Amino acid sequence: PYSGNLSKREVLRSFYSYIREELGNTGAKISADLFGMVTTNTDDLGIGQVLEDALIYFDYVSPMVYPSHYPTGFNGWNNPNAVPYDLINFVLNTAVKRASATSTVLFLPGSVAIASTTPQMYTKEIIDIHKLRPWLQDFSLGKPSYGAKEVRDQIQATYDVGLTSWMLWDAANTYTV
């Protein structure tokens, strides 16, 4: 129960835990849709959503990484919606690294090992990156023509970061072939 003294993040984490406790032994697969910015923001976005919190409790986590929903200037792009491959590759690569991160050294392609005398504060098991199943954009918003090339670019970027599944969203239910 909510006491009024918990942060939004704590409330959501408690809710996630409740869902896992109540449904975890039923055989049902449990998933959550989160805002796309959870892939790159380490704060709770002011609404309590933190990627790692959801990954712990759900079988699948689906960030809504629609290029049209990223602000002008995000990652240096004037119009993130105009670079669907680059955007999806960047945000999902960040999510994969965060899911895989532990308190031990993890060597990723292009990473550099560093030494530290800082004591370990906590441990975290590696989370299967395949829990990440993003929602990709299949609609025009802020771009006159959003078609097969843009959809295919997002799908390819998803595969290129090592993920194997994705979902498309279009509120009008008119999907690109």
Radius of gyration of the chain (CA): 18
More reliable by pLDDT, 176 or 167:
167
What's the half-sphere exposure (Cβ side, CA atoms, 13 Å) at 129? 18
Query: What is the C-alpha to C-alpha distance for residues 127 and 27, in angstroms, rounded to an integer?
Result: 20
pLDDT single digits (tens) 11-64: 999 999 999 999 999 999 999 999 999 999 999 999 999 999 999 999 999 999
102-137: pLDDT as tens digits: 544 444 444 444 445 555 555 666 799 999 999 999
Choice among 76-90, 101-115, 148-162 with the minimum mean pLDDT: 101-115
Query: C-alpha angle with apex 72: 69 to 73, nearest 5 degrees?
Result: 125
- The pTM is what? 0.84
d(CA 49, CA 67): 19
pLDDT value, residue 141? 84
